Amino acid sequence: MTARTFASAAAAGALFLASAMPAWAAGAIGGEVEKQAVNPTAIVMFLIFVAVTLGITYWAARRTKSAKDFYTAGGGITGFQNGLAIAGDYMSAATLLGLTGMVFTVGYDGFVYSISFLVGWPIILFLMAERLRNLGKFTFADITAYRLGRTEIRTLSACGSLSVVALYLIAQMVGAGKLIQLLFGLEYEWAVALVGVLMIAYVTFGGMIATTWVQIIKAVMLLSAGSFMALMALSQFGFNLNTMAQQAVEMHKLGQALMGPGSFLADPVSAVSLGMALMFGTAGLPHILMRFFTVSDAKEARKSVVYATGFIGYFFMVVGVLGLAAIVIVSKNPEFLGADGKLLGGSNMAVMHLAKAVGGDLFLGFISAVAFATILAVVAGLALAGASAVSHDLYASVFKKGQADERTEMRVSKIATLAMGVLAVGLGIAFENQNIAFMVGLAFAIAGSANFPVLILSMMWKGTTTRGALIGGFIGLATALTLVVLGPTIWVKILGFQTAVFPYEHPAIFSIPTAFFAIWFFSVTDRSKRAEEEKGRFPAQYVRSQTGLGAESASSH
Amino acid sequence: MGQESVERILANPRFQELVAKRSRFAWTLSAIILAVFYGYILVVAFNPQVLAVPLGEGWTLTVGIPVGAGIIVLSFLLTWAYVTRANGEFERLNREVLEELNR
C-alpha cells in the first residue's frame, strides 16, 4: 500500500459543518497528512454492516408494493423508530467528527454550536409536527400546494428540495470519499462510487422502509459507540468530569479560556444569524420533513420528536465529553501526532484517535465502520427526498397534472434515484479538490429562506396566495443565494476578491425575514379572483391540520 | 371532507376549545425556548465572561457547562411536556370533536 499524501484529508468530517464554522475552525484541518494503514477490523465491521443493510433492503423490497410504501414506508413506522431515524439523520459523520473536533480545538464554543443545532426541534414539534402529519402525504410540497396553485407551488417546492438535496449530497459525497480514503485506505474515486452504488441499492429497492431501518441501525450503533467511548474515557479520571476538565485546561494552549465562550460568536449579528439558520433551516430540510409522513398519525409524529430530541441532546453532551477527553488523552500522545507536532489527520480525527486510545484497534475499526454507515444512511435519506421531489412533485403533479398512475410514478422515482446517484458520484469526483465548505451552509440558508417560510405561512396564514408564495419563495431563495455568493466564503476565499460585499457568513438573519415579508406583501396585494378562492379553501385545510380529519392513514400490512 | 363538515367543526365549541388551548400551550412553550436560547446566544455574544466563571473554589468547570446542558435538558423536558398534554388531553378533545361529527 503506497502511503499517499493528500492535503487536508480530514477535511472529510469538517466539510459538512465547516461552512457554519468560522475560518479558524476550517483551518484547523489543514496540513499534509499520511493516509492511515488499512484497519482489517474496520473492513470486516463495515462488510457486516453492508451485508445486514442489504439483507434489510431485500426484506424491505418485498414489502414495498405501492407508492405509499416507497415514499413513506406505508405510514407504518412507530414514533420511537421514527425518533431514532430522525436522530440518525441529524447525527451525521459531521456531528461525530466535526463537533468533537471543535470541542477539541476551541472547547466551550463547540458546545454552543451543538446547542444551536438542537433547539430547532422543540419549535418544530410545537408549531409544525402535527400539521405536517395531518396535511402531508409524500412530500412537503403536498402541504404547500394543498390549496395553492399546484403547478407553480409544486415547482417552487421541488426546486427548493432539489437545491438543498444537491448541495448536501455533494458535500456528503466529497466528505465520504475523503473519510473512507483516510480510514480504509481506499482510492477516492472507488470510495465515492461505492457510496453511490449502495445508496442507489437501498433507495431503489427498499424505498423508505430500507432507508429508515438503515438509519435506525446506524443511530443505535453511533449512540452505543459514543456512550462506550465516553465511559471508557471518563473511567480514566475516576468518572469525575471536573478532574478531566482540569487536566484538559492544563494541556490546552487556551488554558482556562477553554471552558468559556471565546471568539466564535463574538459578533452578535453572526451569532443570531447562525442560530436562525440552524433552527429554521432544519424545519425546511426535505429529508427531515419527509420523516413526518412515515408515522401513522399526529400522535406518533409528536412522539417521534420527543425521542429525537432526547437522543440528539444526549449525543451532543456525549460529544462534548469526547472532545474534552481527546484533549487530555490524545493531544499530547506522540502516537497520534505528526512530525510537526500536530494531530494526525487534523482536529476532526480527534475522536478517531480517542477511539484507538481507549479501545484499541478493534474499537477504532468499529468506530470507522460507524462513520461510514453514518454517511451511507444520510445520503440514502437525501436521495429518497430528491427522488420524491422529481417523481411525485415534478412528474406526477406538474408534468402529468396528477393523472400519473402509481406504477409509472414509482418507476420514475427509481430512475430519478439512479440518475441522482450517478450525478452525485460524478459531482463528488469533480469536486474532490474544490472548496465545498460553503455548501451545507447554503443548503441550510435555502431551506430556511425558501422552503420554511412558504411551508409555515401556507399552513398558518389564511391570506397566503399562490402569487405571494411563489414570488416570496423565489425572493427568499435568491436572497439567500446572493448573500452567500457575496459573503466571505465564496466572494473572498473562492473568487479571490479582497473584501466581501456582504460581511457575514450566514444570510439567515436577513434572508428569512425578507422571504416572510415578500410572501406577505405579494399576498395582500393579490386582488385576483383566484386569490379569493385560495383563501376560501383555507377553512378546510385548517380543520384538517388541526384534527387530522381526512388525513392520510397508514396502509395495512 | 365536505364543506358542511368543515363548517360544523368550525362551529363546534369543543373544536374552538381544543384549538385555543393547544395553540396557547404551543406558543407559550415556543416563547420559552426562543427566549432562553436567544438570551443565551446574546450572553455569549455580549457578555461571555459570565459563562466563564468557575463553578466554585477549586473548580475548573464553569457556569457555562450546567447552563448549556440545562438548555439541552430543558428542550427535552418541554417537548416531553407538550407531547404528554397533546397526546392525552388534546387528543381526547380531538376525538370528541370527530365523534360529534358522525352523530
Count the Cβ atoms, other than its own, within 10 Å of residue A43.
Answer: 18
In a domain, A276, yes or no: yes
B-chain residues within 8 Å CB-CB of A257?
52
**Residue of A280, A71, A273, A285 whose CA lies nearest to A163:** A285
- The verdict on a CB contact (< 8 Å) between A310 and B76 is yes
In a domain, A65, yes or no: yes
**Residue of A232, A149, A69, A171 whose CA lies nearest to A470:** A149
In a domain, A414, yes or no: no
Which cell is A92 given?
451525521
- Alpha carbon A454 to chain centroid, angstroms: 20
Interface probe with A: pick from B60, B78, B91, B99, most Cβ of A within 10 Å: B60
A-chain residues within 8 Å CB-CB of B27?
126
Q: How far apart are CA A304 and CA A302, in angstroms?
A: 5
Digits of tens for pLDDT over chain A (557 positions)? 333 333 333 333 333 343 334 333 333 333 334 455 667 888 888 889 899 999 999 999 999 988 899 999 989 899 999 999 999 988 887 778 888 988 999 899 889 988 988 998 999 999 999 999 999 889 999 999 999 988 999 999 999 999 999 998 888 888 888 888 777 778 889 989 999 999 999 999 999 999 999 999 999 999 999 999 999 999 999 999 999 999 999 999 888 889 998 866 667 888 888 888 888 998 999 999 999 999 999 999 999 999 999 999 999 999 999 999 999 999 888 888 887 878 887 788 889 899 999 998 889 888 888 888 888 899 999 999 999 999 999 998 899 888 888 889 989 999 999 999 999 999 999 988 777 667 877 888 899 999 999 999 999 999 999 999 999 999 999 999 999 889 888 888 888 888 889 988 889 999 999 999 999 999 999 999 999 999 999 999 999 999 988 888 766 54
CA geometry: angle at A325 spanning A347 and B52, to 5°? 90
Please report the pLDDT score of residue A515 as a whole number.
97
User: pLDDT tens-digit profile of B48-61?
Assistant: 899 999 999 889 99
Q: How far apart are CA A242 and CA A372, in angstroms?
A: 33
Interface probe with A: pick from B10, B36, B77, B83, most Cβ of A within 10 Å: B83
Say if residue A502 is exposed, middle or buried (CB neighbours under 10 Å; 0-12, 13-18, 19+).
middle
Please report the pLDDT score of residue A437 as a whole number.
65
Please report the pLDDT score of residue A19 as a whole number.
36
Determine the residue of chain A that is closest to B14 in CA distance.
Answer: A547
Please report the pLDDT score of residue A403 as a whole number.
86
User: pLDDT tens-digit profile of A264-318?
Assistant: 666 788 888 888 888 899 899 999 999 999 999 999 999 999 999 999 999 999 9
Say if residue A433 is exposed, middle or buried (CB neighbours under 10 Å; 0-12, 13-18, 19+).
exposed
Which cell is A412 given?
420514475
Rg of chain B over Cα atoms, rounded to whole angstroms, equals 21
Give the total number of structural domains in chain A.
1
Largest pairwise CA distance in chain B: 70
Please report the pLDDT score of residue A26 as a whole number.
33
Count of all residues that appear for chain B in the document: 103
Determine the residue of chain B that is closest to A128 in CA distance.
Answer: B26
In a domain, A362, yes or no: yes
Which cell is A537 given?
379553501
Q: Which residues contact A421 (CB under 8 A, 6 or more apart)?
A: A196, A197, A199, A200, A203, A383
**What DSSP character marks residue B101?**
H
Please report the pLDDT score of residue A265 as a whole number.
65
Q: Which residues contact A321 (CB under 8 A, 6 or more apart)?
A: A230, A233, A234, A241, A244
Q: CA neighbours within 13 Å on the CB side: how many for A468?
A: 30
- Following DSSP, what letter does each residue of A189-247 receive, concatenated? HHHHHHHHHHHHHHHHHHHHHHHHHHHHHHHHHHHHHHHHHHHHHHHTTTT-HHHHHHH
A227 CA: distance to closest CA in chain B (Å): 16
Q: Which of B6, B41, B61 sits opposite A265 (nearest CB)?
A: B41
**Residue of A378, A6, A5, A24 whose CA lies nearest to A171:** A378
Please report the pLDDT score of residue A179 as a whole number.
80
Please report the pLDDT score of residue A24 as a whole number.
32
Q: What backbone phi and psi angles, to 5 degrees, belong to A34?
A: -85, 140
In a domain, A541, yes or no: no
Please report the pLDDT score of residue A519 as a whole number.
97
Please report the pLDDT score of residue A241 as a whole number.
94
Count the Cβ atoms, other than its own, within 10 Å of residue A248.
Answer: 25
Residue the block writes with cell 499530547: A332
Q: How far apart are CA A328 and CA A249, in angstroms?
A: 9
For chain A, the distance separating the N- and C-terminal CA atoms, rounded to the nearest angstrom, is 50
CB contacts < 8 A (A, B): 163
CB of B37 less than 8 A from some CB of A:
yes
Q: How far apart are CA A479 and CA A103, in angstroms?
A: 32
Determine the residue of chain A that is closest to B62 in CA distance.
Answer: A259
Q: How far apart are CA A233 and CA A225, in angstroms?
A: 12
Residue A480, CA distances (Å) to A279, A466, A469, A473, A512 in order: 15, 21, 16, 11, 8
- Alpha carbon A473 to chain centroid, angstroms: 22
Count the Cβ atoms, other than its own, within 10 Å of residue A263.
Answer: 12
CB of B102 less than 8 A from some CB of A:
no
User: pLDDT tens-digit profile of A26-72?
Assistant: 333 333 344 556 678 888 888 898 999 999 999 999 999 888 999 99
CATH number for A84: 1.20.1730.10
Q: How far apart are CA A371 and CA A355, in angstroms?
A: 12
Q: Which residues contact A111 (CB under 8 A, 6 or more apart)?
A: A103, A316, A320, B64, B65, B68
B-chain residues within 8 Å CB-CB of A549?
1, 5, 9, 98, 101
**B 42-71 residues with CB < 8 A to A:** 42, 44-46, 48-49, 51-54, 59-62, 64-65, 68-69, 71
Q: How far apart are CA A173 and CA A479, in angstroms?
A: 27
ipTM metric = 0.94
Domain limits for position A352: 5-384
- Alpha carbon B52 to chain centroid, angstroms: 29
- The verdict on a CB contact (< 8 Å) between B82 and A302 is yes
In a domain, A136, yes or no: yes
Q: How far apart are CA A348 and CA A343, in angstroms?
A: 9
In a domain, A419, yes or no: no
pTM assigned to the model: 0.89
In a domain, A162, yes or no: yes
